[in-house]
Amino acid sequence: MTTMEQLNALPVPTWNHLGVNAAPASAALPPVPDGGWGETNTKYDPLPAGAACRPTIPRACVNLVSGLGEQADRAIRTQANFARFFAAEGKLEAPILLRETLDARGPNAVTHTALHAKAGSDVTFVQLAQGAGTSAALTQIAAERDAHVKLVQVQLLTPASRRWNGVAIRCATGARVEVVRIELGAGIVVAGARAALASRGGEFDLDAVYYGGGDAVLDFNDVSVHTARDTTSELHTAGVLADRAQKVLRGTIDFRRGAVRGVGHESEDVLLFSPAVRNRTTPLILCTEEQVEGQHAATIGRLDEGMLYYLASRGLDPEEAKRLMVDARFAPAIDKLPDDALQAAVRAEIGRRLDHHA
């Protein structure tokens, strides 16, 4: 799967010495192993009423490009050992649930999925990745007029695992796509979402959470491209870095000509548990249209000793106080998970990681 193209490339490059123009060489897509990727233990639960599985990718999803980049998308598409394409119509009472379990029998999952949300539909698509191995995923979403799609991605892989995750979105008139991305495991995490807001009133919301420990390399590239009137994007990320982890987050809001009254906000809140971590945040707002509103913000810091003391004075021990402060940052994303059991599993995994870094 190796590609010479840069992964997670910044739409407009900055100084090379900053090291943020693209993902580092250590995060490159892996070569295909001898004998191919093999079988994968990836499957989806019985589909709810209103959802259907298609044998070929919906035309509306073709050519949608993720934040990883076109060449990386092509590599995942052509080498996928699991490919499923869905269509949704009407209001789905239950989510489409895709489970990816990496184990000794199937340690590699190269998945290509697409979702065509018909006009006026309301659908939740949940992707759960867990176990140990290599995961590379491309998800393409076309939301038609007034459709509402919630894509929930939860990654609970082991620290020795590797993860690549590309999301490509197109919003038609009045359509809204929410992405909840929770990346809690894997020693290499490369993720990139790109939304094309090319029709009036289209909306893209991203709530992302990450936790990096050990020598983890985390690299994110999220882009919203506004080319139509009255479009909106909200990109919000919260993360924890511990040990010697290093992370780059690129967040780009691109207002192109025609995006009159476009609105875009992006923010990140990072909590540092070690002086040895390396954190880089690159917010970018591009604009060739006058009547727009764009804002970005980043908060980076260590645990507030004063707040820990205050919570301890109210009866919480230091570890309980630390969990409370992390949960406060992660809650906006976790609370959007559609299942109580999944929320509990995510909070339990965060708790295990906090115990390790106590």
List pLDDT tens digits, range 10-63.
999 998 888 999 999 999 999 999 889 999 999 999 999 999 999 999 999 999
| Tokens of residue 76, six digits | 């995942």
| Tokens of residue 108, six digits | 């590699």
- Averaged pLDDT score across all residues of the chain: 93
What was the pLDDT predicted at 328?
84
How many H helices and E strands in the chain? Answer: 4, 18
Euclidean distance between CA atoms 152 and 342, whole angstroms: 11
The interaxial angle of helices 305-313 and 318-334, nearest 10 deg, is 110
Tell me what percent of the residues of the chain surpass a pLDDT of 90.
Answer: 82
Averaged over 102-118, what is the pLDDT?
96
Q: Helix, strand, or coil here: 173?
A: coil
- Run of H or E including 344: helix 340-356
What was the pLDDT predicted at 358?
58
Q: Are 86 and 124 in contact (CB under 8 A)?
A: no
What's the pLDDT band for 4 if we cut at 50, 70, 90?
A: very low
- Residue 313 scores a pLDDT above 90: no
Higher-pLDDT residue of 211, 313:
211
What was the pLDDT predicted at 327?
85
Please calculate the CA angle 263-118-136 and round it to the nearest 5 degrees: 75
What was the pLDDT predicted at 285?
96
pLDDT in tens, 137-164: 999 999 999 999 999 999 999 999 999 9
With the CA atoms of 170, 253, 135 and 185 taken in that order, what torsion angle do they form, in degrees rounded to the nearest 10? Answer: -140
Lowest mean pLDDT among 53-57, 223-227, 297-301, 350-354: 297-301
- Residue 134 scores a pLDDT above 80: yes
Q: Is 0.75 surpassed by the pTM of this model?
A: yes
Higher-pLDDT residue of 327, 281:
281
pLDDT in tens, 320-333: 777 787 888 899 99
Q: Are 251 and 268 in contact (CB under 8 A)?
A: yes
| Tokens of residue 96, six digits | 């489409």
> Distance of CA 314 to CAs 30, 73, 322, 329, Å?
50, 51, 14, 20
What's the pLDDT band for 2 if we cut at 50, 70, 90?
A: low
Euclidean distance between CA atoms 23 and 280, whole angstroms: 12
Domain ranges for the chain: 16-305
Compute φ and ψ for 284, nearest 5 degrees: -140, 130
Averaged over 203-232, what is the pLDDT?
97
Euclidean distance between CA atoms 334 and 327, whole angstroms: 9
| Tokens of residue 319, six digits | 């570890």
Lowest mean pLDDT among 119-128, 202-211, 335-344: 335-344
Pairing of β 188-197 and β 122-131: unpaired
The interaxial angle of helices 340-356 and 318-334, nearest 10 deg, is 140
Compute φ and ψ for 237, nearest 5 degrees: -130, 140
- Residue 357 scores a pLDDT above 80: no
Euclidean distance between CA atoms 128 and 114, whole angstroms: 15
What's the pLDDT band for 302 if we cut at 50, 70, 90?
A: confident
Task: Give residue 270's region: left, alpha or beta (phi > 0; psi -120 to 50).
Answer: beta
Q: Could you identify the residue written with the tokens 């290599």?
A: 134
Q: Helix, strand, or coil here: 318?
A: helix
